[in-house]
Amino acid sequence: MLRALALLALIPAPASAAEVLLLDFLCRGEQRLPVAHVLDGDAPGHAVIWYEGAMLVLPQVPAAAGIAYAEPGYGLIWREKGVEGHLARALPGGAEEDLLFDCRLAG
């Protein structure tokens, strides 16, 4: 019995369970954007969004205000501040193309 307990002590503890927060945003033009925030302790989070029939995983990136998630390079950027959100595509030269805007947390 003691030997079994000693062996159990050698097994590494499992990684912490990630917390998932499911949100639903309603944007201008009655467009709906489901967003899942995946948070794992102190590690940077991810947002999983469903846009134009595709599921995209966006890593968290630094934001001046609120929270932002973006694909590397010229990809999609999802920003949230409070109950509002905005989806854009990064363009060369630092410009952005608005895709979904005036998004508000539904319900």
Express each pLDDT in 31-85 by its tens digit: 999 999 998 877 778 999 999 999 999 999 999 899 999 998 879 999 999 999 9
| Phi, psi (degrees; rounded to nearest 5) at 103 | -85, 135
- If one compares 16 and 71, the residue with the highest pLDDT of the two is 71
Domains of the chain (ranges; CATH) run 16-105 (2.40.128.200)
pLDDT of 14 strictly over 60: no
Q: In this predicted structure, what is the pLDDT of residue 8?
A: 33
| Phi, psi (degrees; rounded to nearest 5) at 98 | -70, 130
